[in-house]
Structure 1
């Protein structure tokens, strides 16, 4: 699904006679036809990596003035060195790409030694065990929570790359948990997949309106959930119709 956000188009200076276009361009971005790896994204091969504005422009396939303009507009976070030079952290660059639904460059999406982390939230212990088996069997690092409240306590330390969330749970349901995650800076743009037995049209519309990034309906083929997570973790927006029954 495409998350609905109220954003103005990003002005991109293509460096040709001062002309500007809108959107995202460049051949150096991630290839959507890249091999189907279960451990893509987050650039974990570069822990603590910072990019210069020039490196970021090369990585994203845009001009240097475009990067600077995004920073000045407070769209892309940057830090200044004691010498006054801008540096962009790997995490901030990834957060920017996720927020504006841009493809992730191959250098950031390279397969790494650190498995991607998935937080699986479900009040049914059998479902939690099933999710752990599915996800760990495909190379993910998994943490489990029994409800939205527990999930909120875990995200700070676990730092999940994505969340799989049941909807009907005690203490805090999936809708309330999603709203709480979106209010936290570190999880505001983390992909969250609704995973529930609710398949009626009214529930589907509620899932869409809440802002989930995808929806799988129990019982579901394991490959459906895995393929959905792969696409979302690559930064590819997901249309809800493709991930639900």
Structure 2
């Protein structure tokens, strides 16, 4: 079987799994925001070496009240699942779950550098991973993942201003400007949480240093640092969607 045929077969199987899991998504609030003790940020980065692809997953856990880092873990691994648009989770989940096993305690909520419900089948990495974590999850993407040729409406240039991304009458996510005069981020629920609560939590984790919430920003910084240690050339890449 040729490579293209293999990828097509894999994509069909992946979409079948996504459609099955989609029926189990719970986008109503299932968390007491005042009871959250720890929040984790998750990010991955990739590089190539000797015709093979590798990645690092970093998880940074913050104490919710103080916003201080309580632990940081990472895992490295070779990636053998090809990139297929809309099926990113199948590349990333194994390394994410390996990293989570290294955590001393399981956080109350996970924040992903990526999408959740904002996905053609509502199965971005934040949503897909939730079925393995059994914890509320939030997707926070730096770039817009365009669906159904739907453009987003830029929110007013005010702190915490937002507009919703509505596709065929359904809210898929939210465009959030976390500070004045900064680029917006794209919020979507992962699972076991509603969009209002997700937005409140993201805003609570933004400080003056960046328009990106602290958990995913710190995880992103860790991936850059570790990736450079592993591959000090220009042959580096970040995730595609």
TM (norm. structure 1) is 0.30
Instruction: Compare the two structures and name the one with the higher helix fraction.
Output: 1
> Which of 1 and 2 has greater Rg?
1
Instruction: Compare the two structures and name the one with the higher strand fraction.
Output: 2
TM (norm. structure 2) is 0.30
